[in-house]
Amino acid sequence: MNNNTYTADNIQALEGMEHVRLRPSMYIGDVGFRGLHHLVYEVVDNSIDEALAGYCDTIDVTILEGNSVRVSDNGRGIPVDLHKKEGKSALEVVMTKIGAGGKFDKDTYKVSGGLHGVGVSCVNALSNHLSAEIFKHGKSFIQEYSKGKPLYDVKETGLSETNGTTVTFTPDDTIFQETVFNFSTLANRLRELAYLNKGITITLTDEREIDAEGNAKVEVFHSEGGLREFVEFIDGSREALMENVIFMEGERDNIPVEVAMRYNTSYNENLHSYVNNINTHEGGTHLTGFRRALTRTLKKYAEDNFNLAKEKVEIVGDDFREGLTAIISVKVMEPQFEGQTKTKLGNSEVSSAVDKIVAEMLTNFLEENPNEAKIIVDKVILAAKARQAAKKAREMVQRKNPMGGSGLPGKLADCSSRNPEESELFLVEGDSAGGTAKQGRDRHFQAILPLRGKILNVEKAMAHRVLDNEEIKNIYTALGVTIGTEEDSKALNIAKLRYHKVVIMTDADVDGSHIATLILTFFFRYMKELIENGHIFIATPPLYLVKKGAKQEYAWNDKEREELTKLFSADGKGVTIQRYKGLGEMNAEQLWDTTLNPAYRTLRRITIDSATEADRVFSMLMGDDVPPRREFIEQNAHYAKIDV
């Protein structure tokens, strides 16, 4: 009998909500940590759209016991009257039809937030239970759903003196791998939204965390200064070159544009761009327009007002962006997203609109503020000189043939495979651990590069010093990437990346954490593309070996150690516990079994959930300002294990 027959009976015609449940990643990105939190963002986006339309100024987000989430706003409330075409309440249509909603009616919403545009119906489809309460026309209404299907028709529940919408949902634990909401992850996004939409008050409450007085954990986000305050927040740990943030706002071709920027003493370019409140971390036409206007306007001002000839240096676009923190936010009626993660704006008309507004307003600022203008030009000239010095250093780290043996770092133990997709590079702390790793690895696909001590803190170093650093040169050379194009001397070309997994493997102690942070800072500032493309990982070696007689098991944290101790011996007797303070304390076989073997190891992929928050945290952790760093460590102390 042939079981491979393929007939019309094999074709499934899935309705929208069924398709969401079958292929959730197509709608929300993934079913892990990111996708879980994306559910909240989709609901909040509806409230933000009401705010953009001028009908809402208060949004309350609450994490409830049991990891449900409630989102309330004081907008107009989703319509509950009959939808003539569908023959049911408009609320039910919005909540159960993919693509239904007021966002497609230009008279209802001029612009709307959200990247995927799937809206709250997608959240409904992926929730065990969802309730929508509507307050409008002096009355209150409710409808509840299970896995996207209504439990009953919309019903009136009483009177109401307010307008608004409240959505409460519980994610479906049969779909999501992670169902515990993270307060700080939600806080970062809601803070971002408050800065991007000045005047709105957004409150985040966590009812899972109650203090001694019986109060839940609460954070309130509100900004009257908008992007100005956003720049000040991101730059909190950097030394500003000017007191005030430069702010530009205008509208061209029905495209509202806001830009805030300020120079600091760092050597990094920190540009963050948004379209309809979505962080376009791949950039796009709005960022192109900003860069073009910035370069053209500053160059003209410098040439007209300063004797650049005596400086004997050619100034290029890069030089105008060194030490610059800027946020570009545009609202586009019909955005066209492209790029690998659909976060690159493609609308050509936006480039011209941003260019014109920035050029005009920046010209006015420079002419009206000659002191600040001189500070900027001096910074640009210094950057140009440093770039020339970095050019020689950059040429020294280019690896001509990443697959060949010539020019490889002397300490690199390469793998025999020439297939980058299966090849892994482990950056290992110190020669001792490096030696063990070389013995314990699978030589076919695993390469080892030992690093000597702590690498340079790139947060506080000029580019030529970074590229002069021996350990950093070894990383560039081993990876086979190249730096610099005619348009952007700092651009990274990863087309010839030698290893598609780059794993940071350090000791499980304070020094090891510091070294890992230094390496991550380097990747974030100089090789962000590797993080964005999912190539950077952190290894997780075990902390303990628990033994009794012939039995032994590894433990990765204190809880596992305690559980194993109880399992091995009901009285805590005869059990020995070995604490691994360094990778070098393991023999090659143990390191392979626990940390290198793909069948048993755990690798943590490094991702960037919020580019602005990552920017702020790296500058704070690796900068000179001690108080905010101390506060951060104290707040996150329960994550850290300090060896005494």
pLDDT band at 111, cuts 50/70/90?
low
Q: Is residue 639 part of a domain?
A: no
Please name which of 605, 394, 630, 588 lies closest in space to residue 490, comparing C-alpha atoms.
394
Residues 186 and 310 occupy one common structural domain: no
Please name which of 477, 420, 412 lies closest in space to residue 447, comparing C-alpha atoms.
412
Residues 208 and 157 occupy one common structural domain: yes
Residues 375 and 476 occupy one common structural domain: no
Residues 22 and 153 occupy one common structural domain: yes
Which residues, including other chains, have CB under 8 Å from residue 99's CB and lie 6 or more apart?
A: 16, 117, 118, 119, 121
Which residues, including other chains, have CB under 8 Å from residue 43's CB and lie 6 or more apart?
A: 69, 71, 120, 123, 167, 169
Which residues, including other chains, have CB under 8 Å from residue 77's CB and lie 6 or more apart?
A: 134, 135, 136, 163, 164, 165
Distances (CA, A) of 460 to 45, 266, 268, 270, 490: 38, 7, 9, 14, 17
Residues 216 and 292 occupy one common structural domain: no
pLDDT band at 148, cuts 50/70/90?
very high
d(CA 106, CA 554): 60
Burial class (CB in 10 A: 0-12, 13-18, 19+), 324: buried
Asked if residue 107 lies in contact with residue 80, where contact means CB atoms within 8 angstroms, the answer is no
Task: Quote the pLDDT of residue 221.
Answer: 98
Asked if residue 506 lies in contact with residue 611, where contact means CB atoms within 8 angstroms, the answer is no
Q: Is residue 521 part of a domain?
A: yes
Q: Is the pLDDT of residue 640 over 60?
A: no
Q: Is 2 helix (H, G, I), strand (E, B) or coil?
A: coil
Q: Is the pLDDT of residue 644 over 50?
A: no
Give 220 or 393, the one with higher predicted confidence.
220
Residues 236 and 327 occupy one common structural domain: yes
Residues 255 and 155 occupy one common structural domain: no
Q: The CATH number of the domain where 232 resides is what?
A: 3.30.230.10
Domain limit, last residue, from 353, 370, 392: 392
d(CA 13, CA 18): 10
Residues 105 and 44 occupy one common structural domain: yes
Catalytic residue among 57, 144, 207, 509: 509
d(CA 628, CA 634): 10
DSSP string for 35-72: HHHHHHHHHHHHHHHHHHTTS--EEEEEEETTTEEEEE
571 is catalytic: no
User: Tens of pLDDT along 289-316?
Assistant: 999 999 999 999 998 988 877 777 788 8
Distances (CA, A) of 35 to 180, 547, 587: 12, 39, 39
Q: Is 424 helix (H, G, I), strand (E, B) or coil?
A: strand
Catalytic residue among 507, 532, 613, 615: 507
d(CA 134, CA 142): 6
Task: Quote the pLDDT of residue 398.
Answer: 60
Structure tokens at 240: 């500003």
Which residues, including other chains, have CB under 8 Å from residue 587's CB and lie 6 or more apart?
A: 436, 440
277-286, 424-433, 573-582: least confidently modelled range: 573-582
Q: Is 382 helix (H, G, I), strand (E, B) or coil?
A: helix
Q: Is residue 595 part of a domain?
A: no
Average pLDDT over residues 116-123: 75
Site of tokens 């790029």: 339
Q: Is residue 4 part of a domain?
A: no
Residues 319 and 384 occupy one common structural domain: yes
Asked if residue 434 lies in contact with residue 448, where contact means CB atoms within 8 angstroms, the answer is yes
Q: Is the pLDDT of residue 642 over 60?
A: no
Residues 160 and 56 occupy one common structural domain: yes
Q: For 246-276, give one letter per residue: b (16+ CB within 10 A) or e.
A: bbbebebeebbbbbbbbbbebbbbbbbbbbb
Angle between helices 611-622 and 183-196 (to 10 degrees): 110
pLDDT band at 404, cuts 50/70/90?
very low
Residues 293 and 209 occupy one common structural domain: no
**Single-letter code of the amino acid located at 368:** E
User: Tens of pLDDT along 4-21?
Assistant: 554 445 444 456 788 888
> Residue 376, by phi and psi: left (phi above 0), alpha (psi -120 to 50) or beta?
alpha
pLDDT band at 400, cuts 50/70/90?
very low
507 is catalytic: yes
Mean pLDDT comparison of 340-344, 371-375, 450-454, 565-569, highest-scoring range: 371-375
pLDDT band at 396, cuts 50/70/90?
low
Q: Is residue 272 part of a domain?
A: yes
206 is catalytic: no
Task: Quote the pLDDT of residue 634.
Answer: 65
d(CA 525, CA 269): 9
Expressed as residue numbers, the domain containing 206 is 16-222
Q: The CATH number of the domain where 499 resides is what?
A: 3.40.50.670
Burial class (CB in 10 A: 0-12, 13-18, 19+), 147: middle
Mean pLDDT for the chain? Answer: 87
509 is catalytic: yes
Q: Is residue 631 part of a domain?
A: no
Task: Quote the pLDDT of residue 397.
Answer: 65
Q: Is 140 helix (H, G, I), strand (E, B) or coil?
A: strand
As a whole-number percent, the residues of the chain with pLDDT over 70 amount to 89
Task: Quote the pLDDT of residue 86.
Answer: 83
Q: How many CB atoms lie within 10 A of CB 488?
A: 15
pLDDT band at 632, cuts 50/70/90?
confident
Work out the angle at residue 20's Cα, subtended by the Cα atoms of residues 16 and 21, and round it to the nearest 5 degrees.
Answer: 120
d(CA 410, CA 413): 8
Q: Is residue 583 part of a domain?
A: no
d(CA 235, CA 231): 6
**Tally of domains within the chain:** 3
Task: Quote the pLDDT of residue 388.
Answer: 81
| Partners of 449 in beta bridges | 427
Residues 72 and 212 occupy one common structural domain: yes
Phi and psi at residue 166, in whole multiples of 5°?
-125, 120
Q: The CATH number of the domain where 136 resides is what?
A: 3.30.565.10
Q: For 155-187, give one letter per residue: b (16+ CB within 10 A) or e.
A: eeeeebeebbbbbbbbbbeebbebeebeeebbb
Catalytic residue among 49, 372, 429, 613: 429
Catalytic residue among 422, 511, 560, 609: 511
Please name which of 459, 451, 453 lies closest in space to residue 476, comparing C-alpha atoms.
451
Q: Is residue 585 part of a domain?
A: no
